[in-house]
Structure 1
Amino acid sequence: MTVVALLVGVALILEGLIGMTAPGALLAAGRMVVNPAGLIAAAVIRVAIGGVLLGASRASRFPRFFQVLGIFVIAAGLATPVFGVDRARAVLEWFAAQGGAVLRIDAAGAIVLGAFIVYGARGSNVKAL
């Protein structure tokens, strides 16, 4: 499970790097997902990622953090379909109206969180080089 958590962290880092270099690409991807089927897919992915974080928590360097984050991500996944297409579109358009700086700040947060997940998922018994 820790390998999958590592992949989740790497995916977050990549998403953040795309957001830093091409925030318009993230907005375009978001616009493609803002429909009923896209929200269900996003919900399923979020619940799965939350489950991965919970499953990897015991072997991680920060088990409590992974547990809390996993529960938060599962809750976000369960709330996603309830949020609805109209609200999701409004949030996306709000981000678009703020300009590239806000998107880049959000992307920087994704990079930091992804790096922390990668670091934490490597486990507490990893020997230093």
Structure 2
Amino acid sequence: MMRRLLILFGLVIAVIGVLGIAAPSTLLDFGRSLQTPFALYIVAAIRIGFGIALIRVAAISRTPKTFRILGVPIIIAGVVTPFIGVERARMIVDWWFAQGAWLMQIWAGLAVIFGLFIVYALTPRR
């Protein structure tokens, strides 16, 4: 069950990345919509859950060490997220917007790669 959930999550990450490549301003607008205290707590919970899930399924993945290594900083990012605060989150998103679409597209491309890597690592070998 956890494997399927993480595969779905990997696909969602990849789709969000494709959206960021095709329409970076739409992704920035989505980021701006998450600039409320409640949304920051939701994002934090998702990050913590995702990090824990990566560590828990590491043993059945194709890349157990990588999943464990990735899980820890994702959990830390989730714990830190609420302490960033809405004002700092707004400053970060504004900085991203000021850099231009190229930076967002690079990071979105990395999100596509990351999402597809999760899917690959969790699909059974033939």
Q: What is the TM-score of this pair, normalised by structure 2?
A: 0.95
Residue identity in the other structure for 1:44? A
Q: Moved runs in structure 1, 4+ residues, more than 2 A? A: none
Match of 1:95 in 2: 96
Which structure has greater helix proportion? Answer: 2
Q: What is the TM-score of this pair, normalised by structure 1?
A: 0.93
> For structure 1, which runs of at least 5 residues remain unmatched after alignment?
none
Residues 14, 111 of structure 1: 8 Å contact kept: yes
For 1:72 and 1:54, how far apart are their aligned partners in 2?
11
For 1:57 and 1:74, how far apart are their aligned partners in 2?
15
Secondary structure of 2:61's counterpart equals coil
Correspondence 1:71 to 2:72: yes
For 2:57 and 2:3, how far apart are their aligned partners in 1?
5
For 1:80 and 1:96, how far apart are their aligned partners in 2?
20
For 1:10 and 1:26, how far apart are their aligned partners in 2?
16
Residue identity in the other structure for 1:10? L
Match of 2:46 in 1: 45
The Cα of 1:103 is off from its aligned counterpart by 0.5
The Cα of 1:3 is off from its aligned counterpart by 1.1
- What is the percent sequence identity of the aligned residues? 37
For 2:59 and 2:105, how far apart are their aligned partners in 1?
32
For 2:38 and 2:9, how far apart are their aligned partners in 1?
22
- Total equivalences in the alignment: 125
Match of 2:34 in 1: 33
> For structure 2, which runs of at least 5 residues remain unmatched after alignment?
none
